[in-house]
Amino acid sequence: MAEAIAAYLHYLSIFLLFALLVLEHRLFKLPLDLERARSLTRVDIAYGLTAGLVLATGAARVIWYGKGATYYLHNSLFHAKLGLFLLIALVSVLPTFTFLNWRNALKAGQVPQISPRQAKLTIMSIRLELLLLLIMPLLAALMARGYGVIG
């Protein structure tokens, strides 16, 4: 029963992560208004927390449930999934810093200013994250079917 709950929480956190990123993509449009800018900062915080939840539930599955840590640590697709997750985290730094830079303007009740170049980089980063997230289930499906085992 605990294994099923751990798997459920992992899948649920992944769905929530993707939904938050889609929401971030939909909210990020120029020209910004104050309410959307505030929503973007809240969604980005929730996205970061959810990424931590994905990592924690995934670690729980590797350590205590699933096929055992030995299986995962000797699977190249598992390493690819971890690497992809880290790459997504690195790409997400740009939007997060963009939204963090808005703090002072938002506290003052002002619409944050963003250059067209910074806006384009931010939206492209979000789109790249979405694309990379779509690869993760493929790697998981292959790994679940025994592909990627080293040795």
Q: Give the Cα separation of 34 and 18 in Å (integer).
A: 24
Task: Kindly report the pTM of this predicted structure.
Answer: 0.91
pLDDT value at 151 more than 90 = no
Better-scored residue on pLDDT, 72 or 49: 49
| pLDDT value at residue 25 | 97
126 near 25, Cβ under 8 Å?
A: yes
10 Å CB burial of residue 45 (0-12, 13-18, 19+) is middle
Confidence of residue 94 (pLDDT cuts 50, 70, 90): very high
pLDDT value at 144 more than 90 = no
Taking residues 122-134, report their average pLDDT.
Answer: 97
| pLDDT value at residue 67 | 81
Q: Mean pLDDT of all residues in the chain?
A: 94
Radius of gyration of the chain (CA): 18
Whether the ω angle into residue 31 lies within 30 degrees of 0, i.e. cis, is yes
Count of residues in the chain: 151
77 near 147, Cβ under 8 Å?
A: yes
pLDDT in tens, 4-62: 999 999 999 999 999 999 999 999 999 999 999 999 999 999 999 999 999 999 999 99
Taking residues 118-146, report their average pLDDT.
Answer: 95
Q: Give the Cα separation of 41 and 24 in Å (integer).
A: 9
8-state DSSP, 115? -
